[in-house]
Structure 1
Amino acid sequence: MRIVFLALAAATALTVPAHAQTQAGDVLVRLRGIMVSPTEESGPVLPAFPTGEVAVGDSVMPEVDFTYMITDHIGTELILATTKHDVTGAGALNGLGKVADTWVLPPTLTLQYHFAPKGKVRPYVGAGVNYTIFYSEDASDSLENAIGTTSVKMDDSFGYALQAGVDIDLTDRVFLNLDVKYIDIDTTARLTTGGAVNRVDVSIDPIVAGIGIGMRF
């Protein structure tokens, strides 16, 4: 009878889904929907518009990231996403509305600490670096109607990143993810109109909030 009981207990254990655990060597892949909300601070547009500034709009896009667990508690995450942002006039340029748009690619690498790798709810924090690439910058019709045909170029940026989030198990391999990041992004935009060049320094510094689904491999 004891042997039968042990056999039944073993069979039951095999049919119960294993409790999810994050451990060294795991790869976590997440697909998130993110909102990128700049907390920008703009300098003046010089030399032509000393009382003019610019503002950078929000953007909603998908994001994919990959985390490799170095130990049960320490992971490194590579975050990949690209977003498009409208740039609007402020101050003396407020009447122009949208003055330009740009695509932004800020690959970000963070080192994370996971507080409860054996739990079903696993909060983490991270810090790291990002290199932000601006591409496909375009002047708006309203700007070109006001000052003439203009090309826009924004300098790439290197800065730090801060992160906090939580993974919540849905199954033994699939989990819900909530994540928020602050990314340090500073750029200088150059507006070239004929032989005239105007420059504006902008600290974009977005907060990136995301929600998505992840899978453990």
Structure 2
Amino acid sequence: MRKTAALVAFTAAAFAFNAPAQAQDMAGKVQVKVMGTAVLPDGNLKEVKFVSDDIAAALPAEFNTKADNNYVPTLAVEYFLTNDLSVETICCVTQHNVEGTGGLDGAKLVDDARIIPATLTAKYHLPLGLPIKPYIGAGATYWFVFNEKPGSTAKALGVADTDIKDGFGAVLQAGFDVPLNEKFGLTFDAKKYFIDRTASFYDANDTLVLKTKHDLDPWLLSAGISYAF
């Protein structure tokens, strides 16, 4: 998937360099982007913060976790403060499962965790005078996590409920826009998130039996169309 996204971006860039440059005054304009996004999280286990005796007896000496990938539509809205500076917010809803690796290889730990990664970045558009318009950016994100459920393996160990905490993180961004005319264009974007989340597992009596911390740190790779007004 990552190789395919890179090939598409490279091909678009090659065509853009052969296209006529279109100087645009973007200051004060709004640009809306509709994109397809690959959400590629890590999910690596960072810390076991608490484990009950019963759960500890069922866990192997060494294990880890991973979250699966997802592919979702994404909406971005960007406001240009000047030709070169803008702020952008994006939003999507993505769904992931968490499985075990190592000694827990294939274990189903969390199902159907849905995430809204509300994100705000400040972007600098490099004034290169080229048809392709690259940019870099950085900002903050707040993840709303809901609908998470214990996976089948966790249920077999007596887990009846799972809670993954909402919280803040940071994000770096890079990409480029390819104007097609004064209003429409193509857009390619990559974001790297830096965020840890804590997962708590409870038994049928609502007693905490396991609490873990995970590096999610996903890549969001997006491509789509833009409309400026």
Aligned CA distance change for structure 1 residues 84 and 109 (closer, same or farther; 3 Å): same
Post-superposition shift, 1:51?
Answer: 3.2
Q: Which residue of 1 aligns with 2:172?
A: 162
Gaps of 5+ in 1: 1-17
SS in 2 for 1:116: coil
Q: Which residue of 2 aligns with 1:32?
A: 35
Q: Which amino acid aligns with 1:57?
A: D
Distance 1:36 1:79 in 2: 13
Q: Which residue of 2 aligns with 1:150?
A: 160
Task: Give RMSD over aligned pairs.
Answer: 2.0
Post-superposition shift, 1:117?
Answer: 8.1
Alignment of 1:2-151 (within 5 A): 19=22, 21-43=24-46, 45=48, 46-47=50-51, 48=56, 49=59, 51-97=62-108, 99-116=110-127, 119-144=130-155, 146-151=156-161
Q: Which residue of 1 aligns with 2:9?
A: none
SS in 2 for 1:205: coil
Distance 2:170 2:47 in 1: 25
Post-superposition shift, 1:98?
Answer: 5.3
Is the CA contact (8 Å cut-off) linking 1:176 and 1:212 kept in structure 2?
Answer: yes
Q: Which amino acid aligns with 2:124?
A: Y
Post-superposition shift, 1:129?
Answer: 0.5
- Give 1:205's match in structure 2, choosing from 175, 192, 217: 217
Q: Which residue of 1 aligns with 2:17?
A: none
Post-superposition shift, 1:52?
Answer: 3.5
Post-superposition shift, 1:118?
Answer: 6.2
Give the number of the structure whose alpha-carbon radius of gyration is greater.
1
Post-superposition shift, 1:23?
Answer: 1.8
- The CA deviation string for residues 128-171 of structure 1, in whole angstroms up to 9 with x for no partner, is 00011111101123321x21252010011211110001000222
Q: Which residue of 1 aligns with 2:3?
A: none
Post-superposition shift, 1:55?
Answer: 1.0
Distance 2:106 2:228 in 1: 50
Q: Which amino acid aligns with 1:175?
A: G
Distance 2:68 2:127 in 1: 36
Distance 2:106 2:134 in 1: 45
Q: Which residue of 2 aligns with 1:214?
A: 226
Compute the TM-score of the two structures, normalised by the length of structure 2. Answer: 0.80
